[in-house]
Structure 1
Amino acid sequence: MTEKKKVVILYGGRSVEHGVSINSAKNIYEFIDKDKFEAIAIGISKSGKWFLTKGVSKNIEEGKALSILLDAQKPGFVIAGNEERFNVDIIFPVLHGTDGEDGSIQGMIKALDLPMVGTGVLGSSLSMNKIVAKRVLESAKLPVAKYMTFHFTQREQIKFADIKKKLGIPFMVKAANLGSSVGVNKVKKPADLVKALDDAFKYDDEIIVEEFIKAREVECAILGNNPPQASMPGEIVISKKYEFYTFDAKYVDPEAVRIEVPAKLTKAVAEKIRTLSVKAFQALRCEDFARVDLFLSGNKVYVNEINTIPGFTNSSMFPMMWKERGIGFSELITTLLTIAQDRYDKGKRIERSFSSALKF
């Protein structure tokens, strides 16, 4: 009998999306194929402490405190108190937002030389920062909304009239490095801008201001590498009581949205969305999986952003779009773990030493 692979489901984290991470991780823990994998839940508290937990729980600090063995030859974890050590085979980060989706955790896992599901350091950091991502997408000749950027040190120089002249009204103000619509506001008048800047700068030193595009919200799921595959697009139809896709609309209000998978699109538009999504995934150096968010205005498509660790909650689009393609939740998790392990194995061909006459 083949020994089960030990899979760490890493969740929680020091992020405003901490709760969303827990909900996503619960589903992965529940639906992972127990015949093939041994799931190990490790939670990161809001203060940044790591714990081994019984299943995925919001009460992370009730688990056993952990430390990490910083040894790339034999990486593993140690349970505080009894010094019990355990090793793992692969890590599945289900950490949304700051410290989990921006390359930080990915860099640590890479330094430990452990296989990991999802995009690595470069792609994660590029994709997480909305400003850098826009610039990379532009350089790849992909369509994006018009935008302006500002640093906290420029706060007093940000003028409503200047933004209105370049972007029109209304416009959107966003923190550069957050997801789930946290730190995002729609601005119609000068008073709105003051509140929007207060909110965005509360979470980040950089903000991005974008033109508001009246459009359909469509998403496309990407899976695999060389070449990545695109699902059929899905659409998020937002209730008229919301002016845009807010945090509450995403996660709190069950009546806020209607999800259509696949979206009602012409074949030509659907293929355009799929093609642009794959190009965005590749341009931002993503790996294994991602969800691309786009706007559809008439027949014109804009790439909005890319999510390198998309949600796995019951209302999340990524698993729903693959279910429509015939890939259920358990099979999807197995596929992701297989893809990640294969990428890691192929990466072993890269040399880490160089022989020379240098004396030291």
Structure 2
Amino acid sequence: MHTKTPLIVLYGGNSPEHDVSRSSALHVVKAIDLNRYETYLIAIDQDGSWYEFSHNISAEEQSNFQGTLPIEGTLIHPMEYFQSFKNSQPLVFPLLHGPNGEDGTIQGLIELSGVPYIGSKVLSSALCMDKIKCKELLSEYKIPQTNWTSVHRTNAHDADLSVLSPDVDLFVKPANMGSSIGVTKVTDRNDIEAALSHAAQYDEWLIVEEAIRGREIEVAVLENDRPSASVPGEITPGAEFYDYKDKYEDGATLHIPSVLSESETAEVQGLAVKVFNILRCRGLARVDFFYDDEAKIWFVNEINTMPGFTPISMFPKLWNASGMPYEDLIDTIIQNALIDSPME
């Protein structure tokens, strides 16, 4: 008799990206092959409490899920829960976005439990979440990026922006946040203090970047023995920039694959894999770029170690255009993790 692999899906989380996680998780769970994986759903509320919402879901439950997965169930202690799988070691799929999900904290907790999991490990997760430290490291490798500076929130009222050009638009962001939460585009320098104060609601460290007049291109990366890149996709924002509503309410226009020459495509795919390796990413990631058509320069914007998995998310769309449908993508991610971390 075939023994199914226990798969624990974590979703929700005490992060501003809580709702995005619940939506991503719903679509991933509906794509899981229940003939291969004994699937357990663990909800984390916005206060950080953990609940077992579903214990070894049935095909009927799977087909009936709609909207977002609920935050309810039996209250559990995470360490004790992971260790309760005595007969067959589980694999954890941490479908958590933002702080306390992608920043190395949950990865550290899972590692302390001695359980394998999908996605980047502690160091990589922390580096990719912290935009300042990520940029500093990529600068050491001469990876092109827009001009930027960091600001602590205690200096938001008199930030030193002297390293930035005085006549370009700026983006102000929390250093540790995703989904464009807390981001403001500044076209008038008189508005910079308000933008910094807004970003400071989400993090103590803030980043100010010069805006690039270029095309927004994204590349998805999957790793088995070695990382491989999807076809590039281009985003035309529906708003002034690619904000939260564009990402999750289908406001942007996506061009997949993007209109690039063979050499441009190969260059950005190679750069995506290079960045993936520099930052020691594992399993999967999405690398975001700006492309200056005139100068023919690729600028790395940011790296997402657990990208969204909603129907309009770029990561699954890019792999679908590369010949890997959604269900196959989810199974490939799980199988790659099992190969990387063999079950006992």
| TM-score, structure 2 as length reference | 0.91
Question: Which amino acid is 2:285 matched to?
Answer: A
Match of 1:283 in 2: 278
Alignment of 1:1-360 (within 5 A): 1-54=1-54, 57-60=68-71, 62-70=72-80, 75-76=83-84, 89-158=90-159, 162=162, 166=165, 168-239=167-238, 242-252=239-249, 254=250, 256-298=251-293, 299-345=296-342
> For the residues of structure 1 that align with 2:189 and 2:132, how far apart are their CA atoms?
23
Question: Contact 1:7 / 1:88 at 8 angstroms: preserved in 2?
Answer: no
> For the residues of structure 2 that align with 1:218 and 1:280, how far apart are their CA atoms?
15
Q: Secondary structure at the match of 1:250?
A: helix
Give how far 1:86 is off.
9.4
Give how far 1:209 is off.
0.5
Aligned CA distance change for structure 1 residues 167 and 48 (closer, same or farther; 3 Å): farther
Give how far 1:88 is off.
5.3
- Aligned sequence identity (%): 38
Q: Secondary structure at the match of 2:201?
A: helix
Aligned CA distance change for structure 1 residues 221 and 203 (closer, same or farther; 3 Å): same
Question: Contact 2:156 / 2:197 at 8 angstroms: preserved in 1?
Answer: no
Question: Contact 2:128 / 2:279 at 8 angstroms: preserved in 1?
Answer: yes
> For the residues of structure 2 that align with 1:292 and 1:263, how far apart are their CA atoms?
15
> For the residues of structure 1 that align with 2:268 and 2:167, how far apart are their CA atoms?
26
> For the residues of structure 1 that align with 2:248 and 2:2, how far apart are their CA atoms?
39
Give how far 1:68 is off.
2.8
> What CA deviation, in whole Å up to 9, does each residue of 1:156-197 have, x standing for no partner?
33156x36x536421110100000000111111133212211
> For the residues of structure 1 that align with 2:222 and 2:90, how far apart are their CA atoms?
21
Aligned CA distance change for structure 1 residues 185 and 113 (closer, same or farther; 3 Å): same
Q: Secondary structure at the match of 1:53?
A: strand
Question: Which amino acid is 1:76 matched to?
Answer: S
Residue segments in structure 1 that go unaligned for 5+ positions in a row: 78-84, 349-360
Question: Contact 2:5 / 2:88 at 8 angstroms: preserved in 1?
Answer: no
> What CA deviation, in whole Å up to 9, does each residue of 1:198-223 have, x standing for no partner?
11001100001001001111100100
Question: Contact 2:237 / 2:252 at 8 angstroms: preserved in 1?
Answer: yes
Give how far 1:270 is off.
0.7
> For the residues of structure 2 that align with 1:178 and 1:152, how far apart are their CA atoms?
15
Number of paired residues?
A: 331
Structure 1 stretch displaced more, 242-251 or 198-207: 242-251
Aligned CA distance change for structure 1 residues 76 and 145 (closer, same or farther; 3 Å): farther
> For the residues of structure 1 that align with 2:212 and 2:298, how far apart are their CA atoms?
11
Question: Contact 2:248 / 2:313 at 8 angstroms: preserved in 1?
Answer: no
Alignment RMSD, CA only? 2.1
Between structure 1 and structure 2, the one with the greater Rg is 1
Match of 1:358 in 2: none
